[in-house]
Structure 1
Amino acid sequence: MAAHSKLFAGHAIRRLRRSAGLTQVALADALDISPSYLNLIERNQRSISAALMLRLAERFDFDPRRLGSEEPGGGMDGLRRRLADPMFADLGIDRAEMEEWLAAAPGGAEAFARAFDRMGQGGGAQAPDTGSITLVRREIERWRNHFADLDAQAETAADELRLTAGDLYGALSERLRVRHQLTIRILPADTLPDQIRRLDLHARQLQLSEMLDGASRLFHAAYLLGDLEARDQIDALVAGAGFADRTADRLFRRHLTAYFAAAVMMPYARFLRACEGSGYDLLLLQRRFGASFEQIAHRLTTLQRVGARGLPFFMLRIDRAGQVSKRYAGASAAPLVEADGRCPLWDIHAAFDSPGRIVPHLIALEDGERWFTLSRTVEGQGAGLGQERSIFSVALGLQAGFAAPMLHARGLDLEGGAAQPVGLGCPACTRPDCTQRSAPPRGRTLQFSERERGLSPFAFAAD
């Protein structure tokens, strides 16, 4: 969050107080403030000071970074993103109205956000499968992509595996063989021409393509272990989500099983210690845990264990056309994740020009909020001879104010240094002088002059 930004989090404070069973008087006493001041905070008529956030962290088991992400409807960023939909363009809802809505009717704002998301972010215009993906992503973000019980179970399994062999892949193979009578077999690409993994229960084999690298073979072995040994916990999480369609159930189950696999490969406590000890050195983490860059990026979005939290990262994966195939906000509340479009000035796109190289970038959004991102290309797994290998760009990022401990951010002036101005895609961006603009902002009136032409092909009214 930019240093000059004010945080209004009355809804989150009120929810914290009620969950602790405290009256306003009792919470005010615990925080050394007056009840009247707390009442103003809960009604969003006063912002949260840094000192008050520290007291919340000290006296309650509470991460102050959650304040912004727990605002109803995702707060201003969440409402602004949803109201940028073309169906609302004629309403002219400005920031002041959104602030009044959040302050006066937080429950109504949250209800609107849930209804909008359930419709598939566009009045039901999306295909059913896309709507299912949206529902699952919302459930993942509701948990901030951290499933504590599943993480703990995976960590226990990882500790047991370490006692049997120093090589995790070998230990996983042996556990599958002894406990579940399943062996792992690596098959030639021409035997599995269109698959990377197949579970043959008749032969009692997990069959993997020879085209998979070591990190992917390890992941698929751990994935099968999760499907076999964490099924009860995964069943409970899927049932608790309460999805109305089977597609969402199966997508969420797949995510949770993959979560377990990653947690076996990168056990929480060991992984967090390695992150903090190395300054979140991504290459070192890859080598130490036998994981790919993308697997490391995934895992970094999950580090939200109570009392042992990592930095609040988000992750985004795009193809060359800019289409998103993975997005996890974690605890970051990053508008870059939720945006329908991406800015071409953000180096998530430039990573394609330097395959395999980590590209750091300090960027600033329109509201002045700064973000530090690391982008790198990754290749899809399993393509055989004669097949086109897919390539993606993965961006890992967090608010610039949190990035100081990172090795990749050393030497940068995160708060005052030059930052690339970017938007959330041209239709949502109102920067008037962008030479890269490909479309006018939604809800703005275009202006035309026969005598003048600016740097941007679209001139528009300020509001």
Structure 2
Amino acid sequence: MADRKLFAGHAIRRMRRQAGLTQAAMAEVLTISPSYLNLVEKNQRPLSASLIVKLAESFDFDPRALAAGEPGGGEAALRRRLADPMFADLEIDRNELEEWLAGAPGGAEAFARAFDRIGAGSVDASAASDPVSEVRREIERWRGHFADLDAMAETLADELRLGAGDLYGAIAERLRVKHQLTIRVLPVDVMPDMLRRTDLHARQLQLSETLDPASRTFAVAFQLAQIEARGEIDGLAKGAGFTDRASERLYRRHLASYFAAAVMMPYARFLRACEATGYDIELLQRRFGAGFEQVAHRLTTLQRIGARGLPFFLVRIDRAGQASKRFSGASGSPLAEAEGRCPLWRLHTAFDRPGALAVQIVELEDETRWLTIARTVTPQGRRYGAVPAEFAVGLGVAAALGGTMAVARGLDLKGEATPVGLGCRACGRGNCPQRSLPPAGRALVLNERERGVSAFTFGGD
């Protein structure tokens, strides 16, 4: 994916205007023709690697902003907003949306902010100030990848490997020697409702005995992140500009978790292993001593410039279909972005076979196809007789990109796919036997003399 085309005309235009340059002047600085720069700004030409290097050398900017700053979250996110019934009569097609993004990126961003702020459609006013939603928007702004944290964690992981082959032991020793924190594993009766606790008075990191080895390693790496990556985390948290304290705390927790996962699965080594194994999650678990969900989440973050992995998305749901995690990363997949989901997606049937992989090719109404994997996970800390908990984790990538994956062997990625939607209210597919509600903005057609496969028959757009 290192050679994937990057269109960022809006960012280049903004950079040029902030510098007070004409197209001709900026083209001269970059040693390209003004006509070529004009095409780049109109998103009619992608940014080449050499042009990105010239931009970084000539202007004070972070290259990550080229991918992270798409107006309104990019084309897919704007399409999701425009799918609201209030815009049904406008019939805005893909070409018109592309022209809007290229010609008026500021207007597109203003529309997205206004839509999210006023709670149009399915997003209500309370969601706009919800800490979980705010933090998720900030994570998606970075496409799930935090380059500075990754680089620091990778350097630290190399240091720890030189000291000991056992990562858990190496981190525990570093905490003891460098930070005067010892690790103590306590019985569940002593910590009945806690998995991890830092006792600064006793200078102890206390862990529950119910944690498995992967979770214990993650817990000590998380503690190390809070100490050694504090400056980087402080900078990212300040840059997010949260006005709500809960949002900032939640974001900091995500960043510390990101760092911990990056220490367990250092970027370069992990990406090489992904490509060598065909993104075989179970093999990656064993190789890096991580859990299924840890590996799945790490896969959504592989977006280092010049060394990108496949652009995965992740969704985690409970049996009621409620999503507790959603990361679209660089995939831009509506399957992660949408509030609703389709019961025909095997993510929902993963509960029937706990621990087994459910592989499926699905196709959305816009004819985009996705190769998806689903599996159940059980939270750590459960003891006999306690309330059972179980989640299903869904991981997916554009089907056209999934040919190198181990789970794709024997599959015809261009063949038959399961037609799914983004929840019944957002899905316009007719004759669906699984339909529970009519689509929003479509008139019901009722005929007492007929009964179709679906309980609801409706008119066209």
For the aligned pair, the TM-score class normalised by the smaller chain equals: 0.7 to 0.9
Distance 1:32 1:420 in 2: 49
Render the CA deviation track for 1:366-418: whole Å, top value 9, x for unaligned.
0111111111110011122211231111111111111112111122222x211
> Given the superposition, is the C-alpha separation of residues 68 and 150 from structure 1 closer, same or farther in structure 2, using an over 3 Å criterion?
closer
Query: What pairs with 1:110-259 in structure 2 (closer than 5 Å)?
Result: 110-119=109-118, 125=124, 127=126, 131-259=130-258
8 Å contact from structure 1 (residues 116, 123) kept in 2: no
Aligned to 2:61: none
Aligned to 2:453: 455
Distance 2:33 2:107 in 1: 28
> Given the superposition, is the C-alpha separation of residues 462 and 395 from structure 1 closer, same or farther in structure 2, using an over 3 Å criterion?
same
Q: Does the alignment pair 1:335 with 2:334? A: yes
Render the CA deviation track for 1:198-256: whole Å, top value 9, x for unaligned.
11112211111111111111000000000011111101110011111111110110000
Per the TM alignment, residue 117 of structure 1 is displaced from its structure 2 partner at its CA by 2.8
Identity %: 64
Per the TM alignment, residue 186 of structure 1 is displaced from its structure 2 partner at its CA by 1.0
Query: What pairs with 1:6-405 in structure 2 (closer than 5 Å)?
Result: 11=10, 14=13, 39=38, 42-43=41-42, 48=44, 53=46, 56-57=48-49, 59-60=51-52, 71-85=70-84, 88=86, 92-96=89-93, 101-102=100-101, 104-119=103-118, 125=124, 127=126, 131-405=130-404
Per the TM alignment, residue 72 of structure 1 is displaced from its structure 2 partner at its CA by 2.4
Distance 1:443 1:99 in 2: 24
Distance 1:211 1:164 in 2: 27
Q: Does the alignment pair 1:419 with 2:417? A: yes
> Given the superposition, is the C-alpha separation of residues 172 and 324 from structure 1 closer, same or farther in structure 2, using an over 3 Å criterion?
same
Equivalent AA in structure 1 for residue 333 of structure 2: A
Q: Structure 1 residues 70-79 or 187-196, which shifts more?
A: 70-79
Normalised to the residue count of structure 1, the TM-score between the two structures is 0.87
Distance 1:13 1:345 in 2: 42
Equivalent AA in structure 1 for residue 237 of structure 2: V
Equivalent AA in structure 1 for residue 409 of structure 2: R
Paired residues, number: 448
Distance 1:265 1:343 in 2: 34
Distance 1:66 1:431 in 2: 37
Render the CA deviation track for 1:345-370: whole Å, top value 9, x for unaligned.
11111211111111111111101111
Per the TM alignment, residue 105 of structure 1 is displaced from its structure 2 partner at its CA by 3.2
Normalised to the residue count of structure 2, the TM-score between the two structures is 0.87
Per the TM alignment, residue 84 of structure 1 is displaced from its structure 2 partner at its CA by 3.8
> Secondary structure, in 3 states, of the residue corresponding to 1:408?
helix
Aligned to 1:3: none
> Secondary structure, in 3 states, of the residue corresponding to 1:191?
coil
> Given the superposition, is the C-alpha separation of residues 15 and 76 from structure 1 closer, same or farther in structure 2, using an over 3 Å criterion?
same
8 Å contact from structure 1 (residues 176, 225) kept in 2: yes
8 Å contact from structure 2 (residues 424, 435) kept in 1: yes
Per the TM alignment, residue 36 of structure 1 is displaced from its structure 2 partner at its CA by 6.1
Distance 1:361 1:66 in 2: 34
8 Å contact from structure 2 (residues 344, 418) kept in 1: yes
Name stretches of at least 5 consecutive residues in structure 1 with no aligned partner: 1-6
Per the TM alignment, residue 316 of structure 1 is displaced from its structure 2 partner at its CA by 0.8
8 Å contact from structure 2 (residues 75, 97) kept in 1: yes
Per the TM alignment, residue 77 of structure 1 is displaced from its structure 2 partner at its CA by 2.8
Render the CA deviation track for 1:5-48: whole Å, top value 9, x for unaligned.
xx99754674687799996569999999996687577557xxx5
8 Å contact from structure 1 (residues 117, 134) kept in 2: no
Q: Could you say what the CA RMSD is over the residues aligned between the two structures, in angstroms?
A: 3.3
Distance 1:69 1:80 in 2: 18
